[in-house]
Structure 1
Amino acid sequence: MLVKRPDGEVQPGIKWGPFTLRIPLVHLRFSLSDALQGFAVAGATGLALVPYFMALLGLSFEEAVVMAMIHSLLISFSWMLFGDPYAPGWLTPAIPFVVAFITTPAYLGDHTLQFQAMTALSLNFAFILIVLGVTGLGAKLIKSVPNVLKGGIILGAALAAFLRVTKDGDAANVFQSAPIAGTLGVVICLVFAFSKPMQALAMNKQWLAKLLSMGLLPGFVVAGVVGYFTTEFDYNIRWQLLDVAGASVSLWEKSSPFIIGWPSWGTFAASFPLALITYILFFGDVVTGNEMIEQAQKSRKDEKLDLNSSRSHMATGIRNVLMGITAPFFCTQGVLWTGIQVVLLKKWSEGREKLDSLYDSIGSFYLFGIPLLYVLLPLVTLLEPLLPVALAVTLILTAFACATLALSLVSDATERGAMVITAMAFSVFEPWLGLGIGLITIVALCGVKVFKPEQEKSEEHT
């Protein structure tokens, strides 16, 4: 029986420590439209790293799919076991750093050492998160960030996403390998998610309103069908079930530190700087997610979304520990999937009659944590050609949402200019260098007063 939420309260669940467990079909309702788009978008995106697993780590196709399935299961823990109101995802900007790290001469060609390096990265990152979460220092750090720096971090994420779509990587390649299908899919997803004229038209046309409620799914269907007829996509369907048991055993034997041995102290030391750099990315995602939710919360007084940065630190740390000892591939356990968060929040902000709880939408999008897709190889291979489209769509949605949010955070012209310079530094340079340039720019142009708490600022003006 579904538990009903009192008006203005947090969605009910089972408290355990600082976390909240929410059981599907008890504390969460099923949303068909979110489940369908999650099946296509989350499924295709979750499989996007399978080629990396095979090429870099020497896994078979089946082992790589099982690894992706484990990562997906752990990601679902974020909202189901821990109670975070975010659509969780990867720390995607860290992927190039991770690949560069495990392909240095010290690790290249030795898959055992590469997996040990991944475990060391995951445990180092988890250590940072858990310490900052338990002590509350992470939450205090996030609250102390001024809007101009928040805007710089968020806008930097937007610029970095745009660059990935237009310059390099699989997301850019889709416009070269599938220019018709890829472009159509991306444009339809973007228009359906953000177009004001489309939203206005849907108010008088019920069929269009139902179509828009499907979110990103129509864009993926159009891309898939058009790609088939233009021969831009090559479908090679495998009509069989995944041997989950066999692939899981062989993956465990190749990757788990309980079998291959734990990383050396030298590997832990060598990987710690990258874990610190990744924390800046995590920090930016938490800032972005909180700002998005606070903006959307204004239109939904009936459900209070409990934001707790300390909880997010600890929950993400625990997920990284579990990933690091079962299927280590660092940066697959982040706190926020920005492009999807904005889509789900947009639907949630339309009112309780459209969606009772944001958790209904998040839970359904991730199929309540049931990884059925990964077991059915016909579905896996059906989505395989759409992997670059999924990546391009999520990056463009991320870029658009982050840009609009960042530009709304500051109104002072000087602060806005400093924010843009900070964003450019974050998008071009490594995170540590980008942060340093941003801080220097903000202090030089805006002064140290921007770092004072909002209460102190308001008192100075009175």
Structure 2
Amino acid sequence: MLIKRKDGDVQPGIKWGPFVMRIPLIHLRFSLTNLLQGLAVAGATGLALVPYFIALLGLSFEEAVVMAMFHSMLISFSWMFFGDPYAPGWLTPAIPFVVAFITAPAYLGDHTAQFQAMTALSLNFAFVLIFLGVTGLGAKLVKVVPNVFKGGIILGAAVAAFLRVTKDGDAANVFQSAPIAGTLGVVVCLVFAFSKPLQALAVNNKTLAKILGLGLLPGFIIAGTVGYFTGEFTYNIRWEILDVGAAATSLWAKASPFAIGWPPIDVFVASFPLALITYILFFGDVVTGNEMIEQAQKARSDEKLELNGSRAHMATGIRNVLMGIIAPFFTTQGVLWTGIQVILLKRWTAGRDKVDSIFDSIGSFYAFGLPILFILLPLVTLLQPLLPVALAVTLILTAFACATLALSLVSDATERGAMVITAMAFSVFEPWLGLLIGLITIAALCGTKVFMPSDSHKSGPESDESKP
């Protein structure tokens, strides 16, 4: 029996410590539209790292799929057990740094050493997150950051996402690998998500409204169909069920520190700087997610979306610990999937008659925490050619949503210019150097007063940091 929410309250759930657990079909409803989107988009994107697992870490196809399934399960269960109103995902911008780290001469070719390095990275990152979450320092840091610096971080994410989509040889460059089908799929998804003229037409056209309500799914169907006829996509369907038990057992023997041994102290020390760099990216995602939610909250007074920076730090830290000791591949456990967050929030802002709670959308998109898709090899192999489309779509949506959000945060021309320079620094240089350049630029052009807490730099509903 569904528990109904009182108008203006937080969606009901079961509190445990600083977290809130919400049980499917009791604290949230089922949404077929978001389930279908999740199967196509989350399924394809979740499998996108399988080639990395095989080529870099020496896993078989079955082991790589089980590893991806475990990562997706941790992501899918995050909202259910911890209660954050974010659509969780990877820390995608850190993946190139991680690949460079584990392909250094000290690790290259030694898969045991590579997995130990991944475990060390994950546990170091988890330590940083949990420490900042338990002490409350992480939440305070998020609150005191001025809008101009938030905008620089968010706009930097937009530029970085766009650059990755257009980079030659990158897996996300579907315009290069499948120019006709990929371009068509990306354009349809972008137009369906953000086109104001199309949304205006849908007000008086029920058929169009239903199609738009399917979100990204039509774009994937069109891309997959066109790609088949143009020869850009080849479908090699395997009609079998994945033997999860056998693949999980062999994966455990190859990857878990309980089987291969724990990383030496020197590996923990060597990986700690990269964990700190990744925290900058995590911080940017928290800032982006909070700003998105605060903007969307203005359209829905019937449900209060509770933001808690400390909880987000601890929840992500716990997921990184679990990932690091079972199936380590660092950066697969982040706080926000920006492109999907904007899609789910957009439908949520359409009103309670469309989506009762944001958790209805998040829960259905992530299939209530059980990514059974990965077990069904016919579906896995059907989605396999669409992996570049899924990456490109999420990155383009991320770029567009982040750009529009960042530009709305400041109105002063000088602050906007400083924000653009900060964004370019974040997208071109390593995160720590981008951070340094951004701070210096903003302080020099806007003055140090922007870093002082004041009402002029606060926006949106008050967060719930004071609660345990």
Question: TM over 0.5: same fold?
Answer: yes
Q: Which residue of 1 aligns with 2:249?
A: 249
Q: Which amino acid aligns with 2:271?
A: S
Give the direction of change, closer, same or farther, for the CA distance of 1:331–1:128 in structure 2 (3 Å limit): same
Any idea what the Cα deviations from partners look like across 1:57-78, whole Å, max 9, x if unmatched? 0000000000000001101222
8 A Cα contact 1:418 1:441, kept in partner: yes
User: Would the aligned equivalents of 1:186 and 1:389 in 2 still touch at CA under 8 Å?
Assistant: yes
Distance 1:182 1:420 in 2: 29
Give the ranges of 4+ consecutive aligned residues of structure 1 lying more than 2 Å apart after TM superposition.
168-173, 455-458
Matched-pair contact (CA < 8 Å) for 1:170–1:388: no
Q: Residues 400-455 of structure 1, C-alpha deviation per residue, up to 9 Å, x if partnerless? A: 00000000000000000000000000000000000000000000000001011123
1:394 aligns with: 394
CA shift, 1:172, in A, is 4.8
The answer as to 2:202 corresponding to 1:202 is yes
Aligned to 2:224: 224
Residue aligned with 2:208, SS = helix
Q: Contact 1:339 / 1:394 at 8 angstroms: preserved in 2?
A: yes
Tell me what 1:291 maps to.
291
> Which residue pairs with 1:173 in the alignment?
173
Displacement, 1:116? Answer: 0.3
In the TM superposition, what are the counterparts of 1:291-370 in structure 2 within 5 Å? 291-370=291-370
| SS, match of residue 81 in structure 1 | helix
Please say if residues 422 and 434 of structure 1, whose CA atoms lie closer than 8 Å, have aligned partners that are also in contact: yes
Whether contact under 8 Å (1:14, 1:21) holds in the other structure is: yes
CA distance in 2, matches of 1:445, 1:236: 56
Q: Deviations over 1:170-207 (max 9, x none)?
A: 45532122111001000000000000000000011100
Task: Please say if residues 124 and 272 of structure 1, whose CA atoms lie closer than 8 Å, have aligned partners that are also in contact.
Answer: yes
- On the 8 A contact 2:133/2:311 being kept in 1, the answer is yes
1: distance between equivalents of 2:386 and 2:126? Answer: 32
C-alpha distance in structure 1 between counterparts of 2:168 and 2:56, whole Å: 19
1:457 & 1:258 partners in 2: Cα distance? 48
- 1:31 maps to a residue whose letter is S
Q: Secondary structure at the match of 2:15?
A: strand
Question: Residue type matched to 1:9 in 2?
Answer: D
Asked if the contact 1:142/1:287 (under 8 Å) is kept, the reply is yes
Query: For residues 128-178 of structure 1, what are the alpha-carbon distances to aligned partners after superposition, in whole Å with 9 as ceiling and x for unaligned?
Result: 000000000000011110000000000000000010011245455321221
Counterparts of 2:402 and 2:176, CA distance in 1: 26
Per-residue Cα deviation, 1:344-395 (whole angstroms, up to 9, x for no partner): 0000001000000000000000001112100000000000000000000000
Give 2:158's aligned amino acid.
A
Q: Distance in 2 between matches of 1:269 and 1:186?
A: 42
Equivalent pair of 1:414/1:446 in contact (CA under 8 Å):
yes
> C-alpha distance in 1, partners of 2:405/2:144?
19
Q: Does 1:273 align with 2:273?
A: yes
- What percent identity do the matched residue pairs reach? 83
- 1:314 is displaced (CA, Å) by 0.2
How many corresponding residue pairs?
Answer: 458
How do residues 25-424 of structure 1 correspond to structure 2 at under 5 angstroms? Answer: 25-424=25-424
CA distance in 2, matches of 1:314, 1:77: 14
Amino acid at match of 2:249: V
The amino acid across from 2:344 in the alignment is: L
In 2, Cα distance between equivalents of 1:53 and 1:409: 39
Mapped to 1, the partners of 2:399 and 2:283 lie a distance apart of 17
Match of 1:425 in 2: 425
User: What residue number does 1:447 align with?
Assistant: 447
Matching residue's letter, 1:342: V
Normalising to structure 2: TM-score of the pair? 0.97
Runs of 5+ unmatched residues, structure 1: none
Aligned-partner Cα distance in 2 for 1:156–1:168: 20
What is the identity, as a one-letter code, of the residue corresponding to 1:339? G
Q: Which runs of 5+ in 2 are unaligned?
A: 459-468
CA contact (8 A) 1:157 1:402 kept: yes
TM score, norm. by length of structure 1: 0.98
2:3 alignment partner in structure 1? 3
1:217 partner letter: L
Q: Secondary structure at the match of 2:82?
A: coil
1:170–1:391: 8 Å Cα contact kept in structure 2?
no
Change (3 A) 1:260 1:115: same
CA RMSD of aligned residues (A): 1.0
Residue-by-residue CA offset, 1:196-247 (whole Å, 9 max, x unaligned): 0000000111000000000000000000000001111010000000000000
Looking at structure 1, the residues matched to 76 and 371 of structure 2 have their Cα atoms a distance apart, in angstroms, of: 10
Letter in 2 for 1:38: G
Does the residue aligned with 1:134 lie in a helix, a strand or coil?
A: helix
Task: Please say if residues 171 and 389 of structure 1, whose CA atoms lie closer than 8 Å, have aligned partners that are also in contact.
Answer: no
